[in-house]
Amino acid sequence: MSTTAIAARSTLRIATAGSVDDGKSTLIGRLLHDTKTVFEDQLKAVEKASRRYGDGETNLALLTDGLRAEREQGITIDVAHRYFATPARSFIVADTPGHAQYTRNMVTGASTSDVAIVLVDARHGVVDQTRRHALIASLLGVEAIVVAVNKMDLVGWSEDEFLRIASDVRTFVGALPQQLPVTAIPMSALLGDNVVDGSRHMPWYVGLPLLELLEQFDATPSALPGARVHVQRVIRPQGGPQADFRGYAGVVAAGTLSAGDAVTVLPSGRTTTVAAVHRWGAVVPAADSGHAVVVQLADDIDVARGDVLVVSHASVPPVVTEDIVADLCWMIDQPLVVGSRHWFKHGTRSGHAVVTAIEHRYDLVSPDHEPATELVLNDIGRVHLRLGTPIVADVYAHHAEGGRLILIDAATNTTAGAAMIVSATATSTAPS
């Protein structure tokens, strides 16, 4: 993991994962408490709830376990997002469930994260859920894994136990197809050792405490594929002084879009240049990734919702395709089989999709996979999809936002699966 100093305040997205009772919610509660992000009335409510549930002391896990069932059972069921900040940067933390039956929730929480914190109970060591969450994190393209070896106070602050666990995780991650850097930290979330401050109980550990490590983590992508804007809406005022205005609203992804940039409109393939970029009602010279913009083009060409504006000099041009291969997490009770038909949504484009093949199902507790004829709830496998309308696809590993899509159950209109594009067969490609 890089510890390059962050020159300007930035937001780091974090997913926490681990087996049941490893202390995920307690860790996040400790971060919130020790960074003074908790309001006094919130803390009093947690103290009251702790007494009601018989915890005997302030249970910081209750700061994140918001559902009544979570508090009563002492487990995480749904994904809870929490926000806090330090002078160095801002953080968004997704507290994801540990139960295998909530794998889909872990996928949801990790899909937008930069770093995954995988907790391990020092008493139990690496278990199947540890391997499951490390594999899912690698499939979802996080940039690094932090192994938080928790509850070190219950193993006598043993350096040998910590080193054994750290080695086991590194060995497992090293065998995965997607290689990730792994950093291990011994800690006690309950007592606060190596969470925000260092630990006097473990003088043998010479690394950084968790918060300091996260503050210094460099989340800047090593290479951007080139700006894209998925068109959400065509802006055309009806009458008035702006009657001739035509702009295209969307969010910039994967780079910077500037006035004067040559762009290709996909899937049509027509080329033009950016005449102006509007943000917050004013013309700006450029907009960065994540900025909502309205783009004016130099030429009057046909652009509609679902089209994508791509800078023509993109280092990794997307592919216009109707056939994709993807790693898919299945999220509903009805099994996915070859021939299954669903709606799909990719960016601002939607249409019909049919499953043409299922290659395999991931074991999830080993680097291996097994042949499969169907995927059931919480399975992750590799599938082939034929789409009813072409999309502008990126490989997920190169550009996550352009490389993911969802399948929607047509009968219930619920999300049935989340897909990460592995490869795509080109109908045509954007010029480089």
Same fold, 228-311 and 319-429: yes
For the domain covering 11-216, report its CATH number: 3.40.50.300
Describe the crossing of helices 128-139 and 159-174 by its angle, rounded to 10 degrees. Answer: 50
pLDDT of residue 69: 43
Q: Tokens for 126, please give them.
A: 């690496």
For 134-162, what is the mean pLDDT? 93
Beta carbons within 10 angstroms of residue 193's beta carbon: 24
235 sits in the region (left: phi over 0; alpha: psi -120 to 50; else beta) called: beta
Evaluate the CA torsion angle 227, 231, 233, 235 in order and state its sign: positive
pLDDT at 72 over 60: no
When pLDDT is cut at 50, 70 and 90, the band that residue 3 belongs to is very low
CA distances from 294 to 30, 175, 230, 270 (A): 42, 45, 11, 19
Taken in order 218, 65, 200, 203, is the CA torsion positive or negative? negative
Residue 102: DSSP 8-state: G
- Please name the helix (run of DSSP H) or strand (run of DSSP E) that holds residue 126, with its range, or none: none
Query: Domain ranges in the chain?
Result: 11-216, 228-311, 319-429
Which tokens belong to 125?
A: 């060591």
- Which residue is listed with tokens 């010029």? 431
Q: Which helix (H) or strand (E) holds 132?
A: helix 128-139
Mean pLDDT, rounded, of the chain = 85
Of the chain, the percentage scoring pLDDT greater than 90 comes to 55
Q: What is the pTM of this model?
A: 0.82
Predicted confidence at residue 116, as pLDDT, reads 93
User: At 173, phi and psi to the nearest 5?
Assistant: -65, -35
Rg (CA), the chain: 23
CATH of the structural domain 319-429, one choice from 2.40.30.10, 3.40.47.10, 3.30.1490.20, 1.10.10.10? 2.40.30.10
Which CATH architecture best describes the domain 228-311? Beta Barrel (2.40)
CA distances from residue 114 to 150, 171, 174, 277, 372 in whole angstroms, order as listed: 21, 22, 19, 28, 31
Minimum mean pLDDT among 51-60, 64-73, 222-231, 369-378: which range?
A: 64-73
More confident residue, 430 or 409: 409
